[in-house]
């Protein structure tokens, strides 16, 4: 695999843009392919097998387009799909996990809130992660963020409806002594201004985007896959979505500062290649359709 090949970044929807921004900030010379699988968001409400199959479909699509490494910028897809992705092909795969370890390190009260999708919270990977730190004496308050991803996918990050959801989910954690909140979904950093508006500086917010970018850098260096550094130049960026191009454009404009975005395209309109769809289980099961 040539070192100047692009890096694939994938999320169930728009949340992975928060990770994409961190990768761009640390590795500006790398070219990036970002896929938002918004047609099937939120993954947090999907069956585990569906999440794994969908993640494999996206990974294979990116690999066919020359990606040299793959960032699973989705906590839910990491929890249920990263093992299969790593077994599927010999390329660097970097996943994301809720920031339990850094939260445990900074909490003064020992009470830590975790806001994540239901699918992440029920996963064996998360249970193992939590058990390692609960044994050290910390208390974790885990809360599914039902409805938050849907709001963010619609471009809503601070409406009265969003503020009401944050009040319902976060206020009880604060009342129980939480001084640290783990943002356990890559969509949730979009809510940081709203959380700050309501809770001020009472909570330390843990976002793992920068840590993911550093782990990606380490993997690229280890495998000899770092792109050549050309002073004054930066890699290009292509964004793809399985749903609404305008929603992706709006959120990219909001989060990415002057990005060198070459194109934003709805998949299925690229090189005449059909997107490998997986129908939702409620329709025809979870079989891969070409």
Domains, in order of start, for the chain:
7-96+210-284 (3.40.50.1860), 100-207 (3.40.50.1860)
Catalytic site residue from 142, 151, 185, 226: 185
253 is in an annotated binding site: no
* Residue 251, C-beta contacts closer than 8 angstroms, at least 6 positions apart: 14, 17, 155, 190
- 74 is known as an active-site residue: yes
Q: How is 50-113 classified by DSSP, letter by letter?
A: HHHHHHHHHHHHHHHTT-SEEEE--HHHHHHHHHHHHHHSSS-EE-----HHHHHHH-SSSEEE
Task: Tell me the pLDDT of the chain (290 aa) as tens digits.
Answer: 788 999 999 999 999 999 999 999 999 999 999 999 988 888 988 999 999 999 999 999 999 999 999 999 999 999 999 999 999 988 999 999 999 999 999 999 999 999 999 999 999 999 999 998 886 789 999 999 999 999 998 889 999 999 999 999 999 999 999 999 999 999 999 999 999 999 999 899 999 999 999 999 999 999 999 999 887 778 888 999 888 788 888 888 877 765 555 556 666 533 334 444 434 333 222 222 22
12 is in an annotated binding site: yes
pLDDT in tens, 167-205: 999 999 999 999 999 999 999 999 999 999 999 998 999
169 is in an annotated binding site: no
Q: What pTM does this model have?
A: 0.85
- 142 is known as an active-site residue: no
Element (H, E) at 142: strand 139-144
């Amino acid at each position: 695999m040539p070192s100047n090949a692009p890096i694939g970044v994938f999320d169930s929807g728009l949340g992975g843009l928060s990770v994409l921004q961190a990768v761009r900030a640390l590795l500006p010379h790398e070219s990036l392919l970002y896929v938002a699988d918004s047609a099937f968001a939120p993954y947090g409400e999907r069956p585990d097998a569906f999440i794994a199959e969908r993640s494999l479909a996206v990974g294979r699509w990116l690999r066919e387009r020359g990606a040299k490494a793959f960032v699973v910028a989705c906590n839910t897809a990491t929890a249920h799909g990263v093992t299969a992705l790593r077994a599927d092909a010999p390329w660097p795969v970097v996943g994301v996990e809720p920031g339990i370890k850094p939260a445990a390190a900074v909490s003064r009260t020992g009470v830590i809130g975790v806001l994540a999708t239901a699918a992440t919270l029920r996963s064996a990977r998360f249970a193992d992660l939590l058990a390692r730190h609960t044994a050290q004496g910390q208390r974790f308050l885990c809360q599914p963020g039902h409805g938050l991803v849907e709001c963010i996918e619609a471009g809503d990050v601070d409406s009265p409806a969003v503020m009401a959801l944050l009040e319902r989910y976060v206020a009880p954690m604060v009342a129980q002594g939480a001084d640290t909140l783990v943002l356990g979904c890559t969509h949730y950093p979009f809510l940081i201004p709203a959380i700050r508006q309501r809770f001020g500086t009472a909570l330390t917010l843990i976002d793992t985007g920068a840590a993911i970018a550093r782990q990606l850098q380490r993997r690229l260096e280890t495998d000899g896959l770092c792109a050549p550094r050309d002073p004054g130049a930066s890699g290009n960026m292509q964004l793809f979505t399985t749903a609404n191009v305008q929603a992706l454009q709006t959120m990219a404009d909001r989060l990415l500062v002057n990005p060198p975005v070459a194109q934003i395209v709805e998949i299925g309109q690229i090189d005449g290649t059909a997107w490998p769809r997986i129908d939702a289980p409620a329709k025809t099961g979870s079989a891969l359709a070409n």
